[in-house]
Amino acid sequence: MVWSGSWVAERLGVELVGDGELRELLGLALRRNPKRAHLLVSHVLGKHVPQYPSVVYGAGFELGRRVRELLGEAGTRRAVVLGYAETATGLGHAVADGLGTARYLHSTRRPVAGVARAGGFEESHSHATSHLLLPEDPELLAGDVGDAVGAGETGGAGEAHPSDAVLVLVDDEFSTGNTVLNTIRALHERYPRNRYVIVTLVDMRSPADRGRLAEFAAEIGARVDLVARNSGMVRLPDGVLEKGQALVTAEEAAQGAARDAVRECAPGVAQEAAQEPEGHAGAAISQPASGAARSRPHPRPCTRVDLRWPAGVPDGGRHGFTPAHRARLEAALPAMADRIAAALDDGALDDGAQGDRALDDRARRVLILGFEELMYAPLRLGTALEDRIGAEVRYSTTTRSPVLAVDDPGYAIRTRLVFPAHDDPADGPGDRFAYNVAGAGFDAVVAVVDSTADTPELHAPDGLLARLAPHTAQVLLAVVPSYIPPEAIPAAAVPSKVSAQSALPGPSALPGPSAVLPVPTYAPERQEEPRMLPEPLRGPAFSSYAPDEVGWLLQDLSDTELEAPTEEREEAIQSGGAHYAESLPVEYQPSDQYQDLFKAALDQSAARIARAVGTVTETVLAERGPRPVLVSLARAGTPVGVLMRRWARHRHGVELPHYAVSIVRGRGIDANALRWLAAHHDPADVVFVDGWTGKGAITRELASAIAEFEETGGTEGFNPEIAVLADPGGCVRTYGTREDFLIPSACLNSTVSGLISRTVLRSDLVGPEDFHGAKFYRELAGSDVSGHFLDTVADRFGEVAGAVDTDVKELLTADRAPTWEGWAAVERISEEYGIHDVNLVKPGVGETTRVLLRRVPWKILAKRGAGADLEHIRLLAQQRGVPVEEVDELPYTCVGLIHPKYTRGATGADGKAVESK
C-alpha cells in the first residue's frame, strides 16, 4: 500500500522514522502555518481521517488502561484527566474511561458566560492558540477529588492530600513538549501536586527535546511520566517552512486552474464544484478515494434525529465529566443508537416507494461526523451504532484547522469541504472544514453537533449540512444539548423561541430538544480584567423578559426601599441638591381607561413601529457589521433593543447579543458595564440603542462619558453614536424615522419595560466595583404588558419588509448628519414662554409622557392636528389638571413644559434639581 505521507516526503524531503507501526498510524499533509508547515495526520484519532469508532475509542481506552497499571489502584482513584482542545478532547475522554474512576476535563476555545476560568494556556504552534479551563467544580484541578469516588476509597482517614492526586494530561502528539510543559508549569503554580502523567498517541520529540522532561520535573519538584502508544521522529530539512509555503501556494494555484477548466468544459460537474469557495481544493470534484461509490437516489432533505440525550449528562468534558455521568451515558447509548438506526432505515426508502425496500437501498457505509471539540459524544454514538447495524460505520469530526487537500493516494488529506463556522465562535467568523468526507462513498452522514452550534449558519445554503448533501444520499442531524453548569444558567443565553429547526423542511422542521445558544463573541486574551465583574442579570430572576432577550448589566436592588411619594421625593431633591438617580418615584399605575388607550394605540401604531425597528436594524447591520452587539440604555432603550434583536433573527436568522446598561445624566454611563463589555466583546462591535431623542441630552452625555472612560484608562474603541427608533430632534445619524409619533412603550413605565425600574446610582448602594442598580417589580406582574408590546410589534415584521428595504436604501445614500434642529426649537420655546432654562422643556411624545408621569408639569404644547398620537397625552393631562395648548409650526408632535417656578422633579444637565427662578 502507498504510505499516505509519501507525497509530502518526496516533495519536501520530510522523513518519518520510528517503530514499525508508525507509518500505519500517521500520514502527512501540508497547511498554511508560519510556525509548522507539515501536519501529522493520525489514522486513529478520528479527526481528519474517517475511522471505525471502535478503533478510535479503543486507542484511547487502551492508553487509559496503561496509565491505570502505572498508577495502581490508589493512584487511579485520585487521578484527574485533562484533554486538549480541539483534537484530543475525545482521546482524553477515552483515556479517562480506561482509568475507570477518573474525573475528566478538557480545555476549550469556547468561553461560556457565567463560568469562571480556572486557568488557561497557550499552544504556540497552533492556528488558534488560546485555551481556557472552565470546570464546573472549582476544586477539580486542585486535586480534591475524594468525594467523586465514594467515602472510604481514598485511603485511611486523614491520609489523602490534594497534592497526592495525579494529573493526567492527554494530547494526540508530543512533538516538542512545549504545550504540555507550559500547561503543567501554569497549573503547578496554582494547584501544586506530586505527580503528572503525559499521555499521547505518538511521542515525536527530537533527541534535543527528550532530555527536557527530566529537567522540567526536577525544576518543579514533581514526578512526570510519559505514556505513548508509539514513538518516532520527524526529520525536517533546512528551509522546510519556506518550501512548504511555496508548495502550498503552487498547489492551490494549480487546483484553482483545474477547477476553472472543469467549469468551462463540464457544466454539470461545474455546478457541483461551484459549491466549493474559490481557493479551496476541489473537494466537490474529487473522485472517491476508495472508488466504492454507488449510484444513489437524489439527496433528501436533512432529517433531525431526536436522540433523547439523558438529562443532566454533559455533552463532553468542557465543564467536567464524572464517573456518575459516565454510568448514565453508558446506559443510554444503546437506545440513542437505535434511534439513529431507525432514522437510517426510514431514509433508505426511495422517494415515493411503498412497502419493503430492497437490500441495496439500505445504507452500507455510514459516517458519524462530530463537531470540533464535540468528539466524545459522537464517538460513543458511533461505537454503539457499530453494535446495532450491519453497515460499515466510520467516524470523524469537523475542524477549525485549514489544511491543503490533494487527491493523491500518497497524501493524507484527499478532499475537504469548507463551510462557515456555525457556533458564533469567540474569535469571530471563519471557515471550518471536514476532511476526507467528500467523494468517500458514504451512503449516509450523521452530523452530531451540540445545541450551541445548531444555528441558522448550520442550515444555511453554504452551511455544513448543505455541503454534505451532494456527497451522500442521506444527511441526519443529531443535536446534543449544550451543558451549562446550573449556577451559570441565569447569565447564559438560553434557547431562542425561534429555532434554527424552522429552516429545515419536512420531518426536520418538527420541534426537537435542540436550541440556539448564542455565545459571547470575545477573545480570551482580552479577558484579563483587574477585578471580577458579575455576570448579567436575566429573566425570570430579574425582569419579565425571556433570558435570551436581554442581559441586564445592573445589580438587583429589589429589596431596597427607594421610592417615596412624588412630593416628598422632589422636596428632598430640591432642598439638598440631590441627584435624581439616588431615588425612585412611585411607579405610576395606569387606570383601566389608560390601559385601554395604550392597547388601542399599540394596535394602531404597531406596523409603524415595526417599520422603524426594521429600518434602524438594517441600517446598523449595513454600517456596523453583520454581528453587532446591541447595548440598550436602560430602560427606555431596552424594548427597542429587544425588538431589533428579534428583527435580526426574523429577517436574517442571526442571534445578536443584547445587554442593557445604565446611563445617568450628569454622572455618565456605568464604567463597570463598559469594562464588562470590553472583556466579553470587541468594543467596536457595540452599538448603543435608545428609544428616541428629545433635545439630545443623552446623546451628548454618552459621547462625553465614553471620552472620559478612555481618558481614565478604559478600553478604547467604543463608538458613542446612538441608534434610536425615532429621532425627531435630529440628534443622531442612525434611526428608524425622524417623525415624532407615539411609541407605546413611552406610555408606561416598568410594566412595558420588563418590570424594571429606572436605574439607581447612590454611593451607599453602588460601590466602585458595582454595576448601577435597579429594581424588579415582581408585584406588578398582573399589569405587565412587556411581552404583549413586543409580540404585537414583531407580528407585523413580515408586512413591512418591503417598506423597510425601500427606507434603508434611501437612508444609506442620504445625508443623515445630525441637524440639532430640535435643540434650537427647545431654546426658542424656553425663551418664548419665559422659562429661560432648556432643562425644563421636554420635547417629543416620549419626553412629554415622562413629564406627565414623573414630573410636575406646567403645560403641554401640542402640534395642531396631531390627532391619535396625542390621545394618551390628553388623557394624562386631564387627569393631572394640566392645560394642553395647541400651537402651529411646532417641530415636534408635542412638548412638555415643567413648571418653571415649582421645580420639584425638574433636573438640569448635571442631573440635580433646578433652583426656582
Q: Is 453 exposed, middle or buried (0-12, 13-18, 19+ CB in 10 A)?
A: buried
* Structure confidence at residue 598 (pLDDT): 80
- What is the secondary structure of 519-567 as a DSSP string? -----GGG---SSPPPPPB-TTTSSSS-TTT-EE-SEE-TTS--EE-HH
Q: Is the pLDDT of residue 206 over 70?
A: yes
Residue 503: the pLDDT is 32
> Could you tell me the pLDDT band of residue 419, with boundaries at 50, 70 and 90?
very high
Q: Which of 159-173, 484-498, 776-790 has the highest mean pLDDT?
A: 776-790
* 730 backbone dihedrals φ, ψ, rounded to 5°: 65, 40
Q: Is 215 helix (H, G, I), strand (E, B) or coil?
A: helix
Rounded to whole angstroms, how far apart are CA atoms 657 and 679? 14
Grid cell for residue 570: 422632589
Enter the C-alpha cell of residue 115. 463560568
For 134-154, the pLDDT digits (tens) are 999 888 888 654 433 333 333
String of DSSP letters for 813-859: HS------HHHHHHHHHHHHTT---GGGEEESHHHHHHHHHHS-EEE
For residue 568, give Cα distances in angstroms to 77, 343, 563, 564, 584: 67, 69, 10, 6, 11
What local confidence, expressed as pLDDT, does residue 797 receive? 95
Cα separation, 699 vs 638, in Å, equals 16
Determine the average pLDDT of the residues in 162-171: 86
Q: Is the pLDDT of residue 280 over 90?
A: no
Distance between CA 773 and CA 634 in Å, rounded? 11
* DSSP H or E stretch at residue 124: none
- The count of other CB atoms within 10 Å of the CB of residue 70 is 15
Beta-ladder partners of 734: 723
Q: Is 3 exposed, middle or buried (0-12, 13-18, 19+ CB in 10 A)?
A: middle
CA torsion through residues 638, 642, 643, 647, sign: positive
φ/ψ of 587, rounded to 5, equals: -60, 125
Residue 125: count other Cβ atoms within 10 Å of its Cβ. Answer: 14
**Residue, of 674 and 176, whose pLDDT is higher:** 674
The DSSP annotation for 784-804 comes to: --HHHHHHHHHTTHHHHHHHH
| pLDDT at residue 127 in the model | 41
Q: Which residue has the higher pLDDT, 16 or 506?
A: 16
Residue 347, pLDDT above cutoff 70: no
pLDDT at 262: 65
CA 564 vs CA 528, 568, 612, 907: distances in Å: 41, 6, 36, 17
**Nearest in space to 50 (alpha carbons), one of 400, 547, 382:** 382
867 pLDDT band, cuts 50/70/90, is confident
- So what's the pLDDT on residue 299? 54
Task: Please determine, for residue 575, whether its predicted confidence score (pLDDT) is greater than 90.
Answer: no
In whole angstroms, what is the distance from residue 36 CA to residue 23 CA? 20
Q: How far is CA 395 from CA 56, 384, 469, in A?
A: 8, 12, 17
How far is it between the farthest Cα atoms of the chain?
97
Amino acid residing at 525: E
- pLDDT digits 0-9 by tens, 708-736: 898 888 888 899 999 999 888 888 889 99
Q: Cα–Cα distances in Å, from 740 out to 600, 604, 612, 743, 845?
A: 18, 15, 12, 9, 7
Q: Under a CB-based contact definition with an 8 Å cutoff, are residues 533 and 641 in contact?
A: no
C-alpha cell at 204: 515525536
Which residues fall within 8 angstroms of residue 35, CB to CB, at 6 or more apart?
Answer: 124, 125
Distance CA 669, CA 759 (A): 11
Residues 98-114: tens digit of each pLDDT: 999 899 999 998 888 87
C-alpha cell at 848: 412629554
pLDDT at 349 over 90: no
pLDDT of 323: 92
Pairing relationship of beta strands 551-552 and 365-371 according to DSSP bridges = unpaired
Q: What are phi and psi of 396, to 5 degrees?
A: -155, 180
- Give the separation between CA 669 and CA 664, rounded to whole angstroms: 6
Angle (CA) 534 647 615, round 5°:
115
The three cell numbers locating residue 116: 469562571
Query: Of the candidates 223, 222, 211, 164, which has an alpha carbon nearest to the alpha carbon of residue 189?
Result: 222
Q: Where residue 847 falls among pLDDT bands split at 50, 70, 90?
A: confident
The answer for residues whose C-beta is within 8 angstroms of residue 380's C-beta and 6 or more apart is: 53, 57, 329, 333
Average of per-residue pLDDT values in the chain: 81
pLDDT tens digit string along 687-704? 999 988 877 778 888 888
Find the angle CA(530)-CA(532)-CA(538) to the nearest 5 degrees.
Answer: 145
Q: Per DSSP, what are the bridge partners of residue 773?
A: 555, 760
For residues 864-871, give the mean pLDDT.
78
* Interval 282-298: pLDDT, tens: 333 333 333 333 444 45
In this prediction, residue 149 carries a pLDDT of: 37
Does residue 264 register a pLDDT over 80? Answer: no
Q: Is it the case that residue 804 has pLDDT exceeding 90? A: yes
β-pairing, 416-420 vs 431-435, is antiparallel
Query: Which residues, 6+ apart, have CB-to-CB distance to 859 below 8 Å?
Result: 882, 883, 884, 885, 897
CB atoms inside a 10 Å sphere around CB 788: 14
How high is the pLDDT of residue 190? Answer: 83
DSSP per residue over 255-317, as a string?
HHHHHHHHHHH-HHHHHHHTTSPTTS--TTTPPPSSS-----PPPPPPEEE---PPTT--SSS
Kindly state the percentage of the chain with pLDDT values over 70. 81
Cα 174 from Cα 183, distance rounded (Å): 13
The region of weakest confidence among 23-37, 157-171, 183-197, 574-588 is: 574-588
Report the chain's C-alpha Rg in angstroms: 32
The CA distances from residue 521 to 655, 684, 685, 816, in Å, are 12, 12, 10, 30
Q: What's the pLDDT band for 669 if we cut at 50, 70, 90?
A: very high
Q: Which residue has the higher pLDDT, 352 or 420?
A: 420
pLDDT of 208 > 90? The answer is no
Which residue do the cell numbers 455521568 mark? 325
- Of 804, 759, 455, nearest to 610 by C-alpha is 804
Which pLDDT score, from 0 to 100, does residue 807 have?
93
Give the residue carrying C-alpha cell 425622524. 738
Contact 317, 134 (CB under 8 A): no
